[in-house]
A and B are shown apart, each in its own frame.
Chain A
């Protein structure tokens, strides 16, 4: 079936998710290769490339094992002359920062665009870091779309700039832009892809030993000066001047451009203020900003998260001796979370000295909560239950990034600390060394490949103590079942090779290794019990496919469901201690909701007298 992203002609208009619009923009730019590590809110970009094109059709693509590797593969491809796109969530760019900060020195002839999908408001993340900081720190031209149309247009423009300057370009989005839908008018797809830029061997550019790097730093400065000229001329630098030519102005970037626009319309203040919208946000168009400052007596700067634009504009004004009053963070405009239209109405009313009534808002009612939870039939619950039985509160539980972080909730309470991908093993072993306590670290299969292997090697090398439980559910569950090296070969297809986790663990040198089926509670408990009395690095691999993945992709399970056969103490203990979301109360009695139960049979193992499995009606 033809897909509009792959086949759609110029001037067609389609409703696209921001992330789909990025895909279309990259296709219009003639992207040769896409690399990624999935992470909300970036995942639909690579997933869409995978869904519509398959590998090798018009472009190459890969799910890399982590963001650093994805970045390096894309850098290599771009050195080989390709237009490359690498996608990740904001914290992924921390992992990928090492190659990035030197790739800006060497430059990349083919053109590299980096998508960093930031998450102000913590929708699915452990922090809300502002990756515009990377544009400044590493020297990356940066684009920030605020609509689906711009997501497409700026992706295409980012590729143009990346190839023109031979510098990596940052496409910085935020959750609301990645996951917004809007009408997108298409440009033309290239008739033929631009050829690869032939690689010319030049160690004095591409091998940054100190003497070379010193020269390249100067080249980078020159290239960024050229980028600044592009920003001055950019169609994404837009000034709105009302007929009344007011002496008050707003400079705004990112998704806040929408909130400012809607707030000005709602407050009917459009005639009272001029607006400078910045779409290319690094390097800043200094001349445009200075002339805007000079046209105003006072200017308000609006940006979510860090006051980066504000500080730069203040510095520019100081240097130029410009006396325009500058306002930014303060009052309702904080560095916390996301902005909104009502928040901007308040900020703009304060700035303009306009009367503004705060909307009356009804306080949210105290209602039964609906917290996210491990799914019914999730194998992580079984392993956590077993760990609680063996270690209770005696052990400290080191967690990692994935669905299994939800094991922090009672009654399982199997997450005591967490930093980032892979930290369960390294931070866990560090903690154990000083606290002299048993540490049980939990890490998923994709996270193990991402950055668990190095921590494991380190723990072994330094003779540290930790029990590592690899929760191998055969897929990258949290972000939507993307491939990883642990996935079964027949699911991966012929372009990828399955890697065996046990062989890797043993290959690193771990000798205390056990492998169990997560749904065999007795064997999980037995393995943990044995590990409890041992020292050093111990690894338990608990295998069982993710319940959603098993149903959707492996077409397994679901032929049987559990029913409650006894209302006694054992049943109650299972319901309280195992807490499967399929448990419920019906007419005052314990029951299992057959629409949620997957028939995993764990409740029978916890309370053999309380439940039985029957054929699904």
Chain B
């Protein structure tokens, strides 16, 4: 493990999805693995159905905020938000995203058009060196809880080898930090994420 590996991760999702909980969980995992960690969140008004962004910095970065072009990795919990967050990715960065759409109100009412998945993937491929799309909500539901879908994505990024710690450490952290009743669904979700890179 390279605990000094410097990495900046940008998280994005929709209010209520649990992306801040996911950020905090990965941050605790990093600390547990002995990696320097800083996470940044914004709480408050934006959460009323709006976009929720957060950042996780590994290996000694200090600034709890990212600008466009600074992220090495994007973790998107909703595909439209992944696309919206794309300017944060540095050229050649890596994207992990849910492929399960949650249409915003304008789309739900038929006033605006939600981009096609193929369109989203193509735009992301213009910037990212690799990108991975997982049906997180669907897999979460299959594992026993929609919210466990976030764990699918976290497990996948851990299993990809891009972080300074692997999926086994994440599994250990889940067992240590998650309440017992949430563990079965999340451990199952972790297996779905792990098997993506198996």
Interface residues in chain A, defined as those with a beta carbon under 8 Å from any beta carbon in chain B = 13, 15, 17, 40-41, 43-44, 123-124, 146-148, 175-177, 179-183, 255, 257-259, 261-262, 338, 340-343, 359-365, 367-375, 403, 406, 478-479, 575, 579, 581, 583-585, 588, 593
B87-116 to A contact mask, C-beta < 8 Å, 1/0: 100110000000000011111111011110
Residue from the set A338, A406, A581, A588 with the largest chain B CB neighbour count within 10 Å: A581
The answer on a CB contact under 8 Å between A585 and B109 is: yes
B-side contacts of A585, CB under 8 Å:
108-110
Min CB gap B141→A, angstroms: 12
B110 and chain A: residue at smallest CB distance: A585
- Where the two chains meet, the residues of B that have a C-beta atom closer than 8 Å to any C-beta of A are 14-15, 23-24, 27-28, 31, 36-51, 61-70, 80-81, 83-84, 86-87, 90-91, 103-110, 112-115, 123, 126-127
| Closest beta carbon of chain A to B62's beta carbon, Å | 4
A575 and B67 form a contact (CB under 8 A): no
CA distance A579 to B111 in the complex (A): 13
Interchain CB contact under 8 A, B44 and A359: no
Residue numbers in A under 8 Å from B48 (CB-CB)? 372-375, 403, 406
How many A-B Cβ pairs are below 8 Å? 160
B123 cross-chain contacts in A, Cβ below 8 A:
365
Q: Are the C-beta atoms of B62 and A373 separated by less than 8 Å?
A: no
**Shortest Cβ gap from A12 to chain B (Å):** 12
| B-side contacts of A343, CB under 8 Å | 67
For the complex of A and B, 9 pairs with smallest distance between CB atoms: A124-B44, A584-B108, A40-B44, A180-B64, A181-B39, A258-B62, A368-B112, A372-B50, A372-B48
Residue of B nearest to A342 (CB): B67
What is the minimal beta-carbon distance from B48 to any residue of chain A, in angstroms?
A: 4
Complex contact A262–B62 (CB within 8 A) = yes
Q: Is there an interface contact between A340 and B49, defined as CB atoms closer than 8 Å?
A: no
Q: Nearest Cβ in chain B — how far from A76, in angstroms?
A: 30
The listed residue (B31, B41, B42, B65) touching A340 by CB distance below 8 A is B65
Q: Are B63 and A575 in contact (CB under 8 A)?
A: no
Chain B residues with CB below 8 A from A123, complex form? 42, 44-46
Q: Is the CB of A176 within 8 A of B64?
A: yes
Quick one: given A261-B62, A365-B123, A403-B48, are A370 and B14 in contact (CB under 8 Å)?
Answer: yes
- Chain A residues lying within 8 Å of B103, measured Cβ to Cβ, are 368, 584
Q: Is A181 a contact of B43 with CB atoms below 8 Å?
A: no
Chain B residues near A175 (CB-CB < 8 A): 42
Known A-B contacts A342-B70, A359-B69, A368-B107; A179 and B63 likewise in contact (beta carbons under 8 Å)? no
Cβ of A444 to closest chain B Cβ, rounded Å: 14
Shortest CB-to-CB span from A215 to chain B, Å, is 44
Residues in B neighbouring A180, C-beta threshold 8 A: 38-41, 64
Specify the chain A residue showing the minimal Cβ separation from B81: A370
How many angstroms between the C-alpha atoms of A359 and B66 in the bound complex? 13
Q: How far is the CA of A44 from the CA of B44 in the complex (A)?
A: 11
Question: In the complex where A15-B27, A341-B70, A367-B84 touch, is A124 in contact with B105 (Cβ < 8 A)?
Answer: no
Q: How far is the CA of A337 from the CA of B126 in the complex (A)?
A: 30
Chain B residue nearest in CB terms to A146? B62
Q: Take A40-B44, A342-B67, A370-B51 as given contacts and tell me if A583 and B87 are in contact as well, using a CB distance cutoff of 8 Å.
A: no
Find the B residue at minimum CB distance from A585. Answer: B110
Q: Are A262 and B63 in contact (CB under 8 A)?
A: yes
Closest beta carbon of chain B to A90's beta carbon, Å:
13
Whole-angstrom CA separation of A44 from B75 in the bound complex: 26
A40 touches B43 (CB 8 A): yes
* A-B contact sample (4 more), CB < 8 A, given A342-B68, A370-B81: A179-B42, A255-B64, A367-B84, A371-B50
Query: Do A372 and B46 have beta carbons less than 8 Å apart?
Result: yes
Question: When chains A and B are docked, how far (Å) is the Cα of A257 from the Cα of B38?
Answer: 14
Chain B, Cβ-Cβ closest to A338: B65
A176 CB contacts on chain B under 8 angstroms: 40, 64-65
Q: Would you give 19 A-B contacts (Cβ < 8 Å), ordered by A?
A: A15-B37, A41-B43, A43-B43, A123-B44, A124-B43, A124-B46, A176-B65, A181-B40, A257-B62, A258-B62, A259-B63, A340-B63, A362-B86, A368-B112, A369-B106, A370-B104, A373-B49, A479-B44, A593-B108
Q: Kindly state the separation between the CA atoms of A361 and B70 in the bound complex, as whole angstroms.
A: 10
**Contact call A372/B31, Cβ cutoff below 8 A:** no
If A372-B50, A375-B49 touch, whether A581 touches B105 (CB-CB below 8 Å) is: yes
A372 to B46, CA, bound (A): 6
Chain B residues positioned under 8 Å from A373 (CB to CB): 48-50, 105
- Closest residue to A89 on the B side, CB-wise? B44
Q: A181-B24, A406-B48 are in contact. Are A369 and B104 (CB under 8 A)?
A: yes
A370 touches B109 (CB 8 A): no
Contact check, B39 vs A370: say whether CB atoms are below 8 A apart.
Answer: no
**A431 and B51 alpha carbons, distance in the complex (Å):** 36
Measured CA separation A375–B36 after assembly (Å): 38
A contact residues around B126 at 8 Å (CB): 362
Q: How far is the CB of B136 from chain A (nearest CB, A)?
A: 16
A365→B69 contact, CB < 8 A? no
What are the residues of chain A within 8 A of B39 when measuring CB–CB? Answer: 180-182
Closest-CB distance, A597 to chain B (whole angstroms) = 12
A406 to B104, CA, bound (A): 17
In Å, the complex CA distance between A113 and B108 comes to 48
Closest to B102 in A: A370
Q: Quick one: closest A residue to B23, CB to CB?
A: A181
Nearest B residue to A374 via CB reads B48
Task: Kindly name the residue among B67, B83, B110 whose own CB sees the greatest number of chain A CB atoms within 10 A.
Answer: B67
CB distance from A203 to the nearest CB of B (A): 44
Find A575's partner among B46, B70, B109 (CB 8 Å cutoff): B109
Q: Contact at B69–A360, with CB atoms within 8 Å?
A: yes
A359 to B189 Cα, complex, angstroms:
37
